[in-house]
Structures are given as structure tokens and as C-alpha cells.
């Protein structure tokens, strides 16, 4: 029985977020109050104990109640709790309380979610106009509602298994030598690693699909050299295309009319990294097909992974605004600036980037219609990543390509994962990372993670250790940091042995993590979830905001406070704690249901194994290729335990069906494996 209801308001823009066709319900049955003619808002009265989950990439806790959120893909590197928007627009909510339902608002413009902000118990959703599709999902459990939603939006993107290895990044590695010595350090010190990320400086003057010949010349041979070391190079691609005579991407785009246009039909000019750029019209199917094919420039050189950046799209300035600004600034020269005029003056320069007026000044051609950018703003990063994803289906039909993006909208989860953008080396951002992961799972962004250690600001060694101790559970495990910050590569720290142990544990966990990830993809379930999704009736569990279930077998309770030597952990049932100092060095403790203070040193990782469950572990490896999936050890808790292990070759696009998954049983002290 279909538990999804669909309500179509006004004249909607087809976002292709949804893949399932659902019959429309009459608007007279729409269960919420308060629509009006010009803009659209509706509200729901929340019960005192209702929890509201969802919104994917957003600030604050797992329970989103108590704040005002906006879906508006934003290039904002300061993710403090007063911010309403980050890079993604994930319009999914799950209300859990006196009633239980999911809500997806398919609308590509800005939406406001007031979840008990104006009034403690009111949920108000507000749109700028009246054209949207609202889906309402009902189910007996939260997991079931998520499953319905995910069935509606289609199967998540599948990353290659090597992308579960450790990735090292920095803005930027400036030349081949720098990359070589980084890799040598890892290999010499037995620090497992699978990938090195190339930020904007591998390009020639920040031009997409070019190579800086001076610093990364003979690139193909370099890619090959790295492959021999079992390292995948992952270059960045930016949304803006540099305006430069003789640059093929620019010239082809202009000729074919593939760039976003101003009202007068000229291509829109924005300033980003390379200076003046045009934005490919990713919403235009032909432009998208053209841009997607460009990735072949790098695929041909042996590259098999990418990250798409600046695709909100970020605008440092528009040419028009910059010109106006210089004129306006003249008015302030040689003036006696008082408080008001001084702040006006300051504001003029400060508001030049990502200015809302600029987003109203260019247009897309989408399915034969001309649409002003702000109406469809949240689709840009999605469609850029879709451009690549659709091209990969043709250019690399049998081999998975790693792809993740900064900006996103629901629907993009079918083409790539996301990283959560420019966080900071703050303890609060480690916590944010923990709290955001399950919301991303709900929205189908399964291959995701944050910049481990933090992107901006200076990291400290203890933060790096604690963050890594959490990061080893996220599908994307990438240490990335900004230019100008303290170096964050593992070679900069004294705790080399500790990092080695953490990474080896990660590689030990990969058979389990990958299996749980693939099952979440294929069964539309969560990879990481709040405790309340499993322990539905446990009121205390529903208030736990800093522990997670990772897949079916384990719970984690990361330490995210500086100088803490342990933390309080709530156990919703009796569990077996495995305290890992390293993959080999581990001890066991049994904890009963309830609250416990559990010590955890800087060099320890706590994994709580649930009763009746099994945690498979490999013997590790220096790269994912070295992991022996046929030689697993099994941690068990209880007399009788079972686990379903998903295995595949990690690279092809054929995924074994459920009947072929491996059933592992533990009974009478012996492990038996069989095909289900």
C-alpha cells in the first residue's frame, strides 16, 4: 500500500528530485492550515514532546526543534548556530510524536522552516511563491517513513570502495613533489591511505579541465605513478568557467550559448577564483551534457574521482555590482564619516559577495522555459553534479567514479555524495559533524563526511585525534584544511602511532562499514541513525543527541570535548563495549542498560556491540586494495548472533541481490557462514 500522498500547488518547476510517480491527491484533503494566495505557508501544531528530524545539512542538533532554518544553498564558511543555511537544501522533515509523518517539499527556491522559533509549539513552512509539490509520508516507524521517502527519491549514489580509504587533502598541494613526499610519509610510517586531493592549484590559473604544466606536467604519468602506490588523485572542479580567449571550455560555451545569461541575453559575468567567469547553465539539458563530457579530459588521464566546489554557485562579485560599488564609494571619500555613514560605507564592500540581488540578475533555460536564477537557486549544485554523473554513465559505464559536491538538493543524492563544506577546527564542529550525519542519511546523502580536523582555523593535536576517532566511521574520511591555517597532515603531529592505530582500525572496520553503507543504499535505510530510530519506545533514547548507531550492529559515543577523559553514555540496552587501542589491542566490558560514565583516553575508540549482533573485522591494510575480505574476524555478543554481510568487487556497477548476501551465524561458540 502506498503511504505517500502528493499535493501539487500552482505551476511547479520540475526538479526531478522524485523518481516515483505518485497519484495526486485533491488539494481539499491537504491536512495543514494557513495557505494564502501570493506566497505559501502552512503550519502544524506540534505536541509538547514531538521531535522533528531531517533537513540534512543544517546547523544544530538531530532534533531540529527550536530554530529557524532556510533552504538556500549558501557559501558561508562560518557555521555557527545562529546561521540558517549551509550549502545544501534538503527539504525533508520527519515529525515524530502524537502523529508521525514525513514531509518533502519539492521546491527549488528559498523555503523557511520555522520549527518552534516564533512560537514554541508551531511548525511553519513558508515559501516565496505558490508553486510547489508537497509529499506526505506516513508509516509505523521512523525508519519506515525514511524508507518511503528514499524510495520516492530513488537509489543513492554508490561510491567506489577505495573511497572508504583515508584521503588527505589541503588547499593546496602545489606540485607533484609535495604530493610525492606526503605519500612517502604515509607509506614509510604505515599510515594507511587511498587518496590525495588536488585543490585549485593543480589547474592552470584556476581553469576547469586544465593542468598546470609547470607544477603538474606530464600529469598522466603522475597519475600512473600514484596508482602504483595505490593512491587515487582526486581533483577539484569549480562551477565558474574562466573568461579567456583561446580557452576551449570558455569558447565552446559562448558559441553554443551554454552559459547563464543576463536579461539582455549576454552571458552573466561573475568574479570567482579565476577572476571573471561565466556559469555554465547546468539546468539546461544540453549545456549539462556538454559540461559533463568535459570531465573526460581528466578521466582520460586516469583520474577516477572528483569533488565539485563553489556550486551554490558562490559569487565573489558580479561585474555590475563591482562597477556600481566603485561609483558609490566615491561619495564617501574626503567625508567626515559618522557612525551611520561609516557603517553604510563598510557594508557596501562587505555585502558584495553572494549578494541576493546578483542571484536575481541571471537566467536559466530549463525545459524550454526561461527561469530567473533565484527561483531555482537550490538546483545549481545538484545539476552540476548530475552533469558529471550522467556523463560518467556513458564515459565509464562499468566503473564507479568518486564524486561529491559542496552544494546539493534532494535528487543530487543519486549522482554523488557531499562533504559538509568549510567547517572550522572547533570542538563544536566535531559535535556538529556527529549530529549532522544521521540527517544526511535520512536524505539519501550516504556517501558523506566533514573535513576531518576542521577546514578553517588552527587545529590542535587532541582535536585531530578525537575527530579522527569519529571520522573513521563516516563513509568519506578526508582530512582537509585551508590555506593559511596550521598544517594538518598527520606528519605534523607527534602522535604518529596513535594515528596509525586509528587508521588501521578504520581499515579493519571497512568490511563492516562498506557492507552497512551498501545495504543502506540498496534498502533505502540509514547508514548512521539517532538512537530513537531503533529504540522507538525509549523516551530517554530520543533525547540522546551525541551518540549514533552505525549500521545494524554497533553504537558509538564519540568524545567531543577538549580535555575530557571520558563521557556519559546512555545504553538503551545491555551492550558489549569493545575498547580499541588498535585493531589488535582491544579489551571488553559489558554495560547494562542505563547511564554510565565511561572513560576514554585520547588514543582509544569505543565501539558498543549490540546483543545478538556481529561486527566483522578485517586484518587491515595500507590501502583498501590490501584488505582481505575473505579473512574476517568476528566480534560477537550473546549466545546466538547473526549478521548479513554484503560483499562485492567494490568498483563495478553491478550490485549483488539480497539472495547473494552472506549470512553469518554464531551459535554454540562457532561461526558459520552461508549464503542466504
Give the binding site for ligand MIG (CB under 6 A).
Answer: 171, 199-200, 236, 309-310, 406, 421-422, 455, 480
Dihedral (CA of 315, 316, 318, 320) sign: positive
Residue 393 CB partners (closer than 8 Å, separation 6+): none
Residue 536 CB partners (closer than 8 Å, separation 6+): 141, 142
Of 267 and 313, nearer to ligand MIG (C-beta) is: 313
Minimal distance in Å, beta carbon 310 to ligand MIG? 6
Of 115 and 436, nearer to ligand MIG (C-beta) is: 436
Of 309 and 552, nearer to ligand MIG (C-beta) is: 309
Residue with grid cell 569505543, as numbered in its chain: 606
Of 310 and 443, nearer to ligand MIG (C-beta) is: 310
**Residue in the shown chain whose Cβ atom is closest to ligand MIG:** 171
For the chain, the helix, strand and coil percentages under 3-state DSSP, each to the nearest 5: 30, 25, 45
Minimal distance in Å, beta carbon 172 to ligand MIG? 7
HEC profile for 93-120? EEEECCCEEEEEEECCCCEEEEECCCCC
Minimal distance in Å, beta carbon 576 to ligand MIG? 39
The kind and range of the H/E element at 462 are helix 461-471
Give, as one character, the DSSP assignment of residue 576.
Answer: E
CB atoms within 10 A of CB 275: 13
Do 357 and 321 contact (CB within 8 A), yes or no? Answer: yes
CA 370 from chain centre, in angstroms, equals 30
Of 51 and 480, nearer to ligand MIG (C-beta) is: 480
Minimal distance in Å, beta carbon 208 to ligand MIG? 12
Of 54 and 167, nearer to ligand MIG (C-beta) is: 167
Of 487 and 667, nearer to ligand MIG (C-beta) is: 487
Of 485 and 501, nearer to ligand MIG (C-beta) is: 485
Cell of 151: 524510495
Find the length of the chain: 676
Of 284 and 408, nearer to ligand MIG (C-beta) is: 408
Minimal distance in Å, beta carbon 195 to ligand MIG? 15
Minimal distance in Å, beta carbon 409 to ligand MIG? 18
Minimal distance in Å, beta carbon 416 to ligand MIG? 15
CA separation for the pair 425, 466 (Å, rounded): 12
CA separation for the pair 505, 433 (Å, rounded): 20
Minimal distance in Å, beta carbon 157 to ligand MIG? 19
Cell of 631: 579473512
Of 271 and 551, nearer to ligand MIG (C-beta) is: 271
**Number of H-type helices and E-type strands within the chain:** 13, 39
- Give all strands (DSSP E) within 84-231, no chain letters: 88-89, 92-96, 100-106, 111-115, 122-127, 132-138, 166-168, 195-198
- Give all strands (DSSP E) within 480-574, no chain letters: 528-529, 548-550, 554-556, 566-571
Minimal distance in Å, beta carbon 354 to ligand MIG? 11
Of 200 and 315, nearer to ligand MIG (C-beta) is: 200
Do 9 and 134 contact (CB within 8 A), yes or no? Answer: yes
Minimal distance in Å, beta carbon 429 to ligand MIG? 14
Find out whether the peptide bond into 172 is cis, omega within 30 degrees of 0.
yes
Residue with grid cell 585493531, as numbered in its chain: 583
Minimal distance in Å, beta carbon 363 to ligand MIG? 25
Of 15 and 481, nearer to ligand MIG (C-beta) is: 481
Minimal distance in Å, beta carbon 406 to ligand MIG? 6
Of 353, 352, 377, 351, the C-alpha closest to 363 is 377
Amino acid at each position: 500500500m502506498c503511504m505517500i500522498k502528493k499535493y501539487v500547488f500552482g505551476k511547479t518547476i520540475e526538479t526531478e528530485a522524485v523518481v516515483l510517480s505518485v497519484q495526486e491527491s485533491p488539494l481539499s484533503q491537504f491536512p495543514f492550515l494557513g495557505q494564502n494566495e501570493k506566497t505559501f505557508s502552512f503550519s502544524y501544531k506540534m505536541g509538547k514532546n514531538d521531535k522533528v528530524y531531517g533537513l540534512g545539512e543544517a546547523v544544530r542538533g538531530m532534533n531540529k526543534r527550536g530554530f529557524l532554518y532556510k533552504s538556500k544553498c549558501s557559501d558561508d564558511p562560518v557555521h555557527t548556530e545562529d546561521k540558517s543555511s549551509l550549502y545544501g537544501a534538503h527539504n525533508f522533515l520527519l515529525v515524530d510524536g502524537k502523529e508521525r509523518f514525513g514531509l518533502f517539499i519539492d521546491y527549488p527556491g528559498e523555503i523557511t522552516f520555522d520549527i518552534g522559533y516564533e512560537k514554541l509549539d508551531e511548525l511553519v513552512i513558508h515559501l516565496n511563491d505558490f508553486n510547489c509539490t508537497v509529499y506526505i509520508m506516513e508509516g509505523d516507524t521512523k525508519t519506515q517513513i525514511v524508507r518511503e521517502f528514499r524510495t520516492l527519491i530513488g537509489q543513492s549514489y554508490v561510491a567506489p570502495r577505495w573511497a572508504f580509504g583515508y584521503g588527505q587533502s589541503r588547499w593546496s598541494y602545489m606540485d607533484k613533489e609535495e604530493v610525492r613526499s606526503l605519500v612517502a610519509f604515509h607509506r614509510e610510517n604505515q599510515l594507511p591511505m587511498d587518496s590525495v586531493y588536488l585543490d585549485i592549484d593543480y589547474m592552470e590559473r584556476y581553469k576547469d579541465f586544465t593542468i598546470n604544466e609547470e607544477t603538474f606536467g606530464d600529469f598522466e604519468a603522475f597519475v600512473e605513478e600514484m596508482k602504483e602506490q595505490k593512491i587515487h588523485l582526486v581533483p577539484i572542479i569549480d562551477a565558474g568557467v574562466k573568461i579567456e580567449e583561446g580557452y576551449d571550455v570558455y569558447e565552446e560555451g559562448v558559441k553554443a550559448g551554454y552559459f547563464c545569461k543576463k536579461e539582455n541575453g549576454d552571458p552573466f559575468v561573475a568574479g570567482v577564483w579565476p577572476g571573471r567567469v561565466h556559469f555554465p547553465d547546468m539546468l539546461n539539458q544540453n549545456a549539462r551534457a556538454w559540461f559533463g563530457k568535459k570531465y573526460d579530459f581528466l578521466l582520460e588521464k586516469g583520474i577516477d574521482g572528483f569533488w565539485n566546489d563553489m556550486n551554490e554557485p558562490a559569487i565573489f562579485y558580479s561585474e555590475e555590482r563591482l562597477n556600481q560599488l566603485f561609483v558609490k564609494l566615491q561619495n564617501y571619500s574626503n567625508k567626515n564619516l559618522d557612525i551611520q555613514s561609516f557603517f553604510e560605507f563598510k557594508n557596501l564592500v562587505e555585502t558584495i559577495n553572494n549578494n541576493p540581488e546578483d542571484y536575481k540578475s541571471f537566467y536559466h533555460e530549463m525545459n524550454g522555459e526561461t527561469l530567473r536564477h533565484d527561483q531555482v537557486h537550490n538546483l545549481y549544485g545538484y545539476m552540476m553534479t548530475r552533469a558529471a554523473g550522467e556523463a560518467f554513465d556513458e564515459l565509464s559505464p562499468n566503473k564507479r567514479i568518486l564524486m561529491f559536491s559542496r552544494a546539493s538538493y534532494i535528487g543530487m543524492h543519486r549522482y554523488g555524495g557531499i562533504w559538509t563544506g568549510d567547517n572550522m577546527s572547533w570542538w563544536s564542529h566535531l559535535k556538529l559533524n556527529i549530529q549532522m550525519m544521521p540527517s544526511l542519511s535520512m536524505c539519501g546523502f550516504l556517501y558523506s563526511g566533514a573535513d576531518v580536523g576542521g577546514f578553517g582555523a588552527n587545529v590542535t593535536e587532541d582535536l585531530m585525534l578525537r575527530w579522527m576517532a569519529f571520522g573513521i566511521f563516516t563513509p568519506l574520511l578526508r582530512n582537509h584544511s585551508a590555506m593559511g591555517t596550521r598544517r594538518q597532515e598527520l606528519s605534523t603531529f607527534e602522535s604518529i602511532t596513535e594515528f596509525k592505530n586509528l587508521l588501521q582500525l578504520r581499515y579493519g572496520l571497512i568490511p563492516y562499514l562498506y557492507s552497512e553503507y551498501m545495504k543502506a543504499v540498496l534498502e533505502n535505510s540509514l547508514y548512521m541513525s539517532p538512537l530513537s530510530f531503533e529504540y522507538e519506545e525509549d523516551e530517554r533514547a530520543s533525547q540522546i543527541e551525541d551518540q549514533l548507531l552505525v549500521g545494524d550492529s554497533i553504537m558509538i559515543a564519540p568524545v567531543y570535548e577538549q580535555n575530557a577523559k571520558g563521557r556519559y553514555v546512555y545504553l538503551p540496552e545491555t551492550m558489549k563495549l569493545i575498547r580499541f587501542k588498535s585493531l589488535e589491542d582491544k579489551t571488553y566490558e559489558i554495560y547494562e542498560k542505563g547511564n554510565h560514565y565511561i572513560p576514554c583516553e585520547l588514543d582509544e575508540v569505543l565501539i558498543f556491540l549490540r546483543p545478538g549482533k556481529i561486527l566483522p573485522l578485517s586484518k587491515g591494510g595500507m590501502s583498501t586494495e590490501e584488505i582481505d575480505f575473505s579473512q574476517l574476524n568476528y566480534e560477537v555478543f550473546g549466545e546466538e548472533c547473526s549478521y548479513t554481510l554484503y560483499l562485492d568487487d567494490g568498483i563495478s556497477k553491478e550490485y549483488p541481490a539480497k539472495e547473494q548476501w552472506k549470512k553469518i551465524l554464531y551459535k554454540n561458540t562457532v561461526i558459520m557462514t552461508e549464503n542466504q
